[in-house]
């Protein structure tokens, strides 16, 4: 029984962490928008372009 509880807690924690990361990403990069890659001096950089005009 204690092993089952440990696995359950690990699973619930992992799910919570996944949801928090997804929410943080959604707050940082709102819709509409998208990512664009640009190469500068041989290095690739990613930029986020918001689709909103505000």
Q: What is the DSSP string of 23-36?
A: HHHHHHSPSSEEEE
Tokens read off for 10:
């690990």
Task: Give residue limits of the domains in the chain.
Answer: 2-50
CA-based torsion, 38, 40, 42, 44: positive or negative: negative
- Split at pLDDT 50, 70, 90, the class of 5 is confident
Q: Which residues pair with 44 in a beta bridge?
A: 39
**Tokens linked to 52:** 């909103």
pLDDT the model gives residue 51: 76
In terms of pLDDT, which residue wins out, 30 or 36? 36
DSSP-assigned beta bridge partners for residue 50: 33
Range 16-27 average pLDDT: 95
Predicted confidence at residue 35, as pLDDT, reads 92
Q: What is the mean pLDDT of residues 31-42?
A: 93
Rounded average pLDDT over 36-52:
92
């Amino acid at each position: 029984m204690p092993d089952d509880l440990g696995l359950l807690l690990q699973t619930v924690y992992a799910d919570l962490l996944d949801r928090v990361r997804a929410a943080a990403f959604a707050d940082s990069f709102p819709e509409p928008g998208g990512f664009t890659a640009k190469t500068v001096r041989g290095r690739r950089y990613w930029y986020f372009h918001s689709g909103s005009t505000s």
